[in-house]
Amino acid sequence: MSYMEISNIEKSFDKNEVLKGISLNIEQGEFVSLLGPSGCGKSTLLRCLSGLETIDKGTFVLDRNDVTETPAQNRNIGMVFQQYSLFPNMTVEENLSFPLTIQKMPKADQKAKIDDVLNIVGLTDKKKAYPGNLSGGQQQRVALARAIISRPKVLLLDEPLSAIDAKLRKNLQIEIRRIQQELNITTIFVTHDQDEAMSMSDRICLLNDGRIEQVSSPIELYTKPKTRFAASFIGHYNVLSPEEFLQAFQMAAPDNKMTAIRPETIQISTEKPEGNDSMHTLSGKIINNRSVGNTLHYHIDVNGITFKVDTLFRSFALYKDEQQVWLSLEKRNCLPLED
């Protein structure tokens, strides 16, 4: 039996089905990201697990106990929201002591807990500060400290970094993962940012329109997407219908299915590569290109089909618009999809 067992959860608001039979098992100490576009059901699922929303159908078992009907305050689950929800008229210390006071913990024990958690999040010198005097990143760490101070069975994070600037966001990603691993706390992290999910997670649960598209490790999700949506959402794949594949390659698609090809697996050259049985070789024309950091993104026309091709920036290997080029890729990088 898994530490968390989410079985066939359904949730609707009026006639709008938001969750459509979600099933997911999570092991103790695992960091799982719920990834997907806005409106796919990520936050609703998190609120159902926390007890802030009721479940219409299905069950939620935590540590061998069915908590489907258990009130939120009795689930021993910590939660951090996008909004920090700190009490502005309380110091950091008072914000952290609040949930412990609700639990009727003695003051002496509270002090030890607060000192310990502030050390974990690196805010030992901010105990007497008020939230208004803290940066956004510091406020988020206080919110995280408050969520973990009681050592909950599960930590739920609902897009906690979305309001923080990019550089600080990267640092906090590292900090959250470090703290999660240090405490070995089972964590579910909601995000719409694929880079964030890829860098932090043990596994990613990709959601689309209230359903699970794929659950796998970040590497497997990136290299082996199972559906057209997964391929389109992760890594900006070239996704070709069987008809488009036939038009571009002049041969049938693998298993005659939709096919996904990662842009970085395609090589560009001005001379025709030597062919072999393991390679595809195509003739094309550069439509346009743009640079992002150290990567060049090309759009290339092949028999009327547009391919996205990514290469590292090299000043000696720049291709111009309208230039005729050759493309080559290994056949094993043409991935058949389930839909």
Q: Tell me the per-residue pLDDT of 4-49, one tens digit each, with 9 for 90 and over.
A: 999 999 999 998 999 999 999 999 999 999 999 999 999 999 999 9
- Average model confidence (pLDDT) for the chain? 93
Structure tokens belonging to residue 122: 């690196």
**What pLDDT score does 156 carry?**
97
How many Å apart are CA 203 and CA 22, to the nearest integer? 16
Q: pLDDT per residue over 97-138, tens digit each?
A: 998 988 888 888 899 999 999 999 999 999 999 999 998 889
Q: pLDDT, tens digit, for every residue of 319-337?
A: 899 999 999 999 999 999 9
User: What average pLDDT does this structure show over 237-255?
Assistant: 96
Which residue from 156, 157, 155, 146 is spatially nearest to 110, judged by alpha carbons? Answer: 146
Q: What is the CATH number of domain 236-336?
A: 2.40.50.100
Residue-level pLDDT at 316 = 56
CA dist 230 and 210 (Å) reads: 14
String of DSSP letters for 309-326? EEEE--TTS---TT-EEE
Are the C-beta atoms of residues 221 and 204 closer than 8 Å to each other?
yes
Q: pTM here? A: 0.90
CATH of domain 4-232: 3.40.50.300
pLDDT category, 164, cuts 50, 70, 90? confident
Buried b (16+ CB within 10 A) or exposed e, 214-249: bbbebeebbeebbbbbbbbbbbebbbbebebbbebb
pLDDT of residue 165: 81
Residue 186: exposed, middle, or buried by beta-carbon count in 10 A (0-12, 13-18, 19+)?
buried
Beta strands in 153-278 (DSSP E): 154-158, 186-191, 203-208, 211-216, 238-240, 259-261, 267-269
- C-beta separation of 327 from 300 below 8 A: yes
Residues in Cβ contact with 171 at an 8 Å cutoff, skipping those fewer than 6 apart: 137
Domain boundaries, the chain: 4-232, 236-336
Whether residue 150 contacts residue 103, with contact meaning beta carbons closer than 8 Å, is answered with yes
